[in-house]
Chains A and B, each alone.
Chain A
């Protein structure tokens, strides 16, 4: 069956360090992979998108990698800040589809 796996345990890191979140998937052939941020009581907010033929994408302090052989995406936040504390969701979009399928998300807590 199709699965999207994100670490269910919260990631606790110290301010200034790099946070790395993982998204693994099985039985999918995504054309795109998206990362969203969700704060309590709010809807997810889009951060970055990476296509299947791209290895890496950057935006300011954010970096996403996509390895279709390992079936894995890594999401990095460099020089993390307490304001980066949130739940981060990955979402896969199959080729020919408009519909993102979401993982459960990983909670990131950045300590001052």
Chain B
């Protein structure tokens, strides 16, 4: 099966600009997650979709970040306007919903590196 695909792999933008990251999960995976890794820190949870619904967005830093998942398929994460501290690697992951909480193995994409200048 095809893996999780993220685009772009690297984006360099100026402070104040807008960037949209895209994630295509594995087909049939209901769960979709966004995580972010800032330099030197751990991978931090941003939000979780089940199909097209946001289940948990407690990790979203602020209202400059907007995530959507159209029709329960691909997802986008928009940062508008971007700030310097938004720089990092944004990972998308997906998993099946096997009905058992916790037995949840995530398949990650390669990440989208965002550099805000």
Known contacts A99-B33, A99-B45; A43 and B108 CB within 8 A of each other:
yes
Interface residue B111 (Cβ < 8 Å from any Cβ of A): yes
Interface residue B60 (Cβ < 8 Å from any Cβ of A): no
Bound complex: CA of A74 vs CA of B72, how far in Å? Answer: 37
CB-defined contacts of A95 to chain B, threshold 8 Å: 101-102
CB-defined contacts of B103 to chain A, threshold 8 Å: 32, 49
Known contacts A31-B101, A93-B104; A102 and B110 CB within 8 A of each other:
no
Shortest B52–chain A CB gap in Å is 16
Bound complex: CA of A4 vs CA of B45, how far in Å? Answer: 14
CB-defined contacts of B102 to chain A, threshold 8 Å: 31-32, 51, 93-98
Interface residue B91 (Cβ < 8 Å from any Cβ of A): yes
Known contacts A4-B42, A89-B43, A105-B42; A34 and B105 CB within 8 A of each other:
yes
A46 and B107 contacting across the interface, CB-CB below 8 Å = yes
Per-residue CB contact flags for chain B residues 47-90 toward chain A (1 = under 8 Å, else 0) read 01000000110000000000000000000000000000000000
Known contacts A49-B105, A93-B102; A98 and B110 CB within 8 A of each other:
no
Interface residue A61 (Cβ < 8 Å from any Cβ of B): no
Kindly identify, within residues 84 to 112 of chain A, every residue whose CB is under 8 Å from any CB belonging to chain B.
Answer: 89, 93-105
User: Assuming A99-B56, A104-B41, what are 10 further A-B pairs, CB within 8 angstroms?
Assistant: A32-B102, A32-B104, A44-B91, A45-B108, A98-B48, A98-B55, A101-B45, A102-B42, A103-B42, A104-B42
21 residue pairs bridging A and B, Cβ less than 8 Å apart:
A4-B42, A31-B102, A32-B102, A32-B103, A32-B104, A43-B91, A43-B108, A43-B109, A43-B110, A45-B108, A46-B105, A46-B106, A93-B104, A95-B101, A96-B102, A98-B101, A98-B104, A99-B48, A99-B56, A102-B42, A103-B42
